[in-house]
Amino acid sequence: MKNLIRILLLLIVACCLLAACGGKTLEATEGPEASEANESSGTVPSSLQTIEAAAEDIIDLAPSGNWDKIGTDIGDISNAWKSYQPQASEEGTSQDLQNAMMAAIERLQTASAAKDSASTMQGSNDVSAVVVEMFALYNPKVPVDIGRLDVLERQVILDVAAHDYNAAMASFTQTKSVWEEVKPSVLEHNGKDVAADFEASLTAQESELNAQDDAALTNDAKDALEIVDALERLY
């Protein structure tokens, strides 16, 4: 089941990339309602921003087992989603994405209730993967592909921790594809040096993944997350 969920989330990202390659935007694939969202000022609703921030916080907290704070974050995610739901369809969020969010939140709640750190981190990253796709509806200043890189590099770390190298390779392959999509924008924003750093990290990660060097791969994926933060600051 966990592998099926991961495959579904990767397919969501892959479909977005295929749409982009075909000269279409993600918003255009979501239905006619999305056209109004496409013309927005680029401001992502605060409810979605709350979900993203809380999900990332949970990933940081889960290894130390700070379940009280994690519970607070999950409550924030649940409340923020309830707040956003009434406007979701009107603003072009597909029913598939809405269903994916509800399922991800439910898995996160279940994992947290069981105090299962690994599953809680996975559930939180699943929530992040869905909310990043919702961000795309609002044409945010920072390209959505950079958010996808954040999700995918975290997924590489989670896959390696589970010793699931096939899943790690799938996550890494998707990371490279997303990077190729966003690289031209990064370079246009004076990101030559940061781009070089990220590509060097990808090269190292690929070698370590092939060698199944867990420690080195995890360290380099964590470093890549720091580089993704630097990519965000370009905008």
- Residues 179 and 198: their CA atoms lie apart, in Å, by 9
Range of the domain at 129: 1-9+43-140
- Is it the case that residue 18 has pLDDT exceeding 60? no
> Do 162 and 136 reside in the same domain of the chain?
no
Render pLDDT for 104-157 as a digit per residue (tens, 0 to 9): 999 999 999 999 999 999 999 999 999 999 999 999 999 999 999 999 999 999
- Label residue 4 by pLDDT band (50, 70, 90): very low
Structurally, the chain folds into a number of domains equal to 2
**Other C-beta atoms within 10 Å of 15: how many?**
14
pLDDT at 32: 36
Same-domain status, 235 and 195: yes
List the one residue out of 3, 101, 5 whose CA is nearest residue 52.
Answer: 101
DSSP string, 115-131: T-HHHHHHHHHHHHHHH
Do 151 and 85 share a structural domain? no
14 found inside a domain = no
- Integer angstrom CA distances of residue 190 from 28, 43, 50, 205, 230: 29, 23, 29, 24, 12
Q: Which pLDDT does position 27 carry in this prediction?
A: 31
Angle between helices 67-88 and 46-61 (to 10 degrees): 160
H helices present in 22-143, as ranges: 26-29, 34-38, 46-61, 67-88, 95-113, 117-135
Q: Which two tokens stand for residue 230?
A: 């630097």
The pLDDT tens digits for 206-232 are 999 999 999 999 999 999 999 999 999
Nearest to 69 by CA among 124, 32, 122, 20: 124
Q: Is pLDDT of 17 > 60? A: no
pTM, two decimals, is 0.84
- Are residues 211 and 135 part of one domain? no
* CATH code for the domain in which residue 124 is found: 1.20.120.290
**Average pLDDT taken over every residue of the chain:** 87
Which of 140, 171, 194 is a domain's end point? Answer: 140
Question: Per the domain annotation, does 33 fall within a domain?
Answer: no
- Do 5 and 98 share a structural domain? yes
39 SS3 class:
coil
The residue whose two tokens read 């694939």 is: 29
User: Does 5 share its domain with 96?
Assistant: yes
Q: What is the pLDDT of residues 31-55, one digit of tens each?
A: 334 434 444 458 999 999 999 999 9
Q: Do 59 and 121 touch, CB atoms closer than 8 A?
A: yes
The tokens describing 108, both together, are 């996160």
pLDDT of 235 higher than 60: yes
Between CA 7 and CA 55 the distance in angstroms is 20
